[in-house]
Structures are given as C-alpha cells and as structure tokens.
Structure 1
Amino acid sequence: MVWVFFIAVAVLVVAATVALALGRVAVDPVPAPVTSTPALELDPHPRAADIDAIRFDTALRGYRMDQVDEALDVLYARIVELEHQVAPRPDEVDPQPAEGRGEPRP
C-alpha cells in the first residue's frame, strides 16, 4: 500500500513540474509592496526639519522607490525655485566688470 502513496506523490511532482515549465501555473516571487507608514506628504516648501523627518518603507532591495522619487521631486522643485530667486537672470547680469567701466577704484 505504501507504494501507491509514493506513486501518487511522484505523479503530483511530475505534474507540478510540467505545469511550471509550460507556464500553466504562475509563480509570483515578489509580493506586492506593503505600506506601513502613512503616505509621504512633504510640504511643497520643505524646511530642514521636514527633510530630517522623512521616513521611507523598506522594500526587498532597500527603500520604496516610489516614495523616494516623490520626495526627490518635491525637493527638486523647491531647489529650482530657490535657485531662480538667488541666481541673477541673464538679462540682469552686467556684461562688463566694474574695472572695465572706467569707474575709479576705491
């Protein structure tokens, strides 16, 4: 009677192997991401304390890429905004240095 059990197990193993090889059975090796923290809500005008407070969920190979990308997009937009405020515009830049204008040196 034991031999019937072994034959049944062997048939099931062969059938499962063939089904996997032919693609009849789908295997999902990576599960769907699970969020354990609330959605990343970074202020459009972040401050240093806001950046220090950012926490990302961990994933299979590090952090959740979608959360990191979202944070980087907000920070990029803010840095661009600050650069436009600080950097002179090309039409406002004086093409001649102070020495070449003929003004007396102090």
Structure 2
Amino acid sequence: MALVLLYIVVLVLVAIVLFGAASLLFGRGEQLPPLPRGTTATVLPAYGVTGTDVDAVKFTQVLRGYKTSEVDWVLDRLARELEALRGQLAAVNAAGTEAGDEAAKAEDAPGEDPA
C-alpha cells in the first residue's frame, strides 16, 4: 500500500514539475494584449450580413455565460438587417403587383394593338 501511495506522490510531483516547466517555457500563449475595458471584438458588417458573418461572431465570456451587451448588440443588428430586407421585399412585391395590374388593364382594353 505504501508503494502505491509513493507512486501517486511521485506522479503528482512529476506532473507539477512538467506543468511548471511548460508554463515557463511557453508562457501564456497570448499573441496580443487583452482588450481594454469597455471594448469588444464582436463585429458584423454595416450591411449585407451573411450566414458566414453570423457564424464568425464571437462573444466575450464572463463568469455567467456571455457578455450580455455584446449579445444584445448582435441581436439588434440582425433585427435591423431583417427589417431592412423585409422592407425591400415588400417594395419589390408591391412593384410587381402594380406592374401586373397595369399589364392586366392593358390586355383588357379593347381595340388597342399592343404591337
């Protein structure tokens, strides 16, 4: 039993030494300094948001999940983009309906030669 305990103690000590050596040798591994407080790395294009842009969004992790201000900003930005696209779609549909109505009236007019 004492031999097993000795093996475990030696294994833990070797692990601590290896971890310490690797930490000193490689450091924290960060290439850039951390962002200043109040700034974020969360970005989206000004318009024309695509699925790839949404997939690439990264949020800062905090103690209880993600930073809510970043998530709220992204959701607001996507909501504005959706509303703009729906407005454009409604305008195109309205223009198509008006053009279809005018074409139907032109076909119904008797005595006119369309050619």
Q: Please classify the TM superposition score into its range, dividing by the shorter chain length.
A: 0.3 to 0.5
Which one has a larger percent helix, Structure 1 or Structure 2?
Answer: 2
Output the TM-score relative to the length of structure 1: 0.46
Q: TM-score scaled by structure 2?
A: 0.43
